Amino acid sequence: MRGSIIKRSEDSYRVRVSLGRDTTTGKYTSHYETLRGNKAQAEKRLRELLTELDKGIFVKPGKQTVADYLEQWLHDYCWSNLTPRTAESYQYIVRTHLIPSLGKILLTQLKPEHLQHLYSEKLSAGRSDGKGGLSNRTVRYCHVTMHKALSSAVKLGMIPRNVADAVEAPKVHYHELRTMNESDIHLFLEYARSTPFYALFYTLLFTGMRRSEILALRWSDVDLILCQVSISRTIHQLHNGQIIYGEAKTAKSRRMIALSPSTTIVLKEHREAQQKLRESLSLPFTDDDLVFCHHTGKPYLPDGITHSWHKLALRCGLKGVRLHDARHTHASLMLKQGIHPKIVQERLGHSSIQITLDTYSHVAPGLQEAAANRFDDIVMPKHKDTVEAEL
């Protein structure tokens, strides 16, 4: 008999399912569960257990809590397989939001309603200072972290399914991208000439590189003869202040970016000025040095560069234009000029062209109109003047 139900009291039943012969001892084993409710509920649970056995996804309940498992996941998976910056962000979410709310629950007893309640609670009153709830974006990141952790538990056979699949995470309201037009760029760079960051900001706007990529760039990565740069690594600062270098996140992130003639000139002048300054200070200068750094060769702090951009943008009257918007500006202007989205994707290092198209969909209306006009130019060049006159 594969399973049975035994009534223990008026509202208590014991459900038993046979697990077959133990391969070590040779004895037949069973799994027992006691639940409160009526017979129909006990029969439903019996059917669920038998279905799990038939599908090979049954996991015998253990005593490991969610807190124990998440700490194990951080140690065994995150810090071993992810970049330190990503592992640190997961660790923050786990220890600040997930463990305090879910930590005492047994891992095998975690249910979708536990997660749904957590997200609702965090949205209404989740801030550590007690001044309201967390943003939709932060709560969604809690969901992403929990989902990833539980996916690993499923692969390890610790739980039969990922309960996060049954939970609706809050939607993130994406704000419209703030980009600069041609006049804004000229104005911004004119103001930047009086700062130490002119070449840095110029290169950001003319290449679309990420902050973490450009601050990790070495002179050995720059070819001023062939006018190109090689992106292979990144730089990040952890919460404890430690500066770390790492490989570019994905294969698509590791790429070559062609430099415009003006960008090449700016970088040549920047290299010459940097080399002269080092010589005047009796400091060595090699191709392994950072392209953008302090005069001693020490790397710029990423947040410091962002702060400098923000102050400069305010001086120019470009309030709300972030450093990352230099990347959006580069992509938007290229697409408006008719550059194929595939080329833009390669320059930005997006993992797929779909990400590029989705991110810059606001440019699509202009592209659609230009494409329609160009099709007329190709197919009906002789009739174009007549049609336009009629319109």
Q: How confident is the model at residue 384 (pLDDT cuts 50, 70, 90)?
A: low
**pLDDT, tens only, 23-52:** 778 888 888 888 889 999 999 989 988 888
Question: Is the CB of residue 292 less than 8 Å from the CB of residue 279?
Answer: no
pLDDT at residue number 55: 77
Domain locations in the chain as residue ranges: 3-55, 66-166, 182-323
Tokens, residue 72:
């194990």
Q: Are 66-166 and 182-323 in the same CATH fold?
A: no
pLDDT at residue number 365: 64
pLDDT at residue number 193: 96
Q: Which of 368 and 320 is assigned the larger pLDDT?
A: 320
Q: How confident is the model at residue 366 (pLDDT cuts 50, 70, 90)?
A: low
Q: How confident is the model at residue 327 (pLDDT cuts 50, 70, 90)?
A: very high
pLDDT at residue number 51: 87
The SS3 of residue 195 is coil
Whether residue 126 is predicted with pLDDT greater than 90 in this model: the reply is no
pLDDT at residue number 127: 86
Q: Which of 165 and 9 is assigned the larger pLDDT?
A: 165
Q: How many CB atoms lie within 10 A of CB 321?
A: 22
pLDDT at residue number 18: 87
Percent share of the chain, pLDDT over 90 = 62
Tokens, residue 119:
């997200």
Domain 66-166 CATH assignment equals 3.40.50.10470? no
Q: How far apart are the first and last CA of the chain?
A: 83
> Distance (Å, rounded) from C-alpha 141 to C-alpha 137?
6
Instruction: For residue 247, give the amino acid letter.
Output: E
DSSP 254-320: SEEEEPPHHHHHHHHHHHHHHHHHHHHTT----TTSBSSB-TTSPBPPHHHHHHHHHHHHHHTT-TT
Q: What average pLDDT does the chain have?
A: 90
Beta bridge partners, 305, equal: none
Homologous superfamily of domain range 182-323: Intergrase catalytic core (1.10.443.10)
Q: Which residues touch 43 (CB under 8 Å, ≥6 apart)?
A: 5
CB half-sphere exposure, 215, CA atoms < 13 A: 23
pLDDT at residue number 383: 57
pLDDT at residue number 73: 97
Mean pLDDT of 331-335: 92
Q: Which of 63-77, 121-135, 272-286 has the lowest mean pLDDT?
A: 121-135
pLDDT at residue number 382: 58
Q: Which of 299-303, 330-334, 366-370 has the lowest mean pLDDT?
A: 366-370
pLDDT at residue number 75: 94
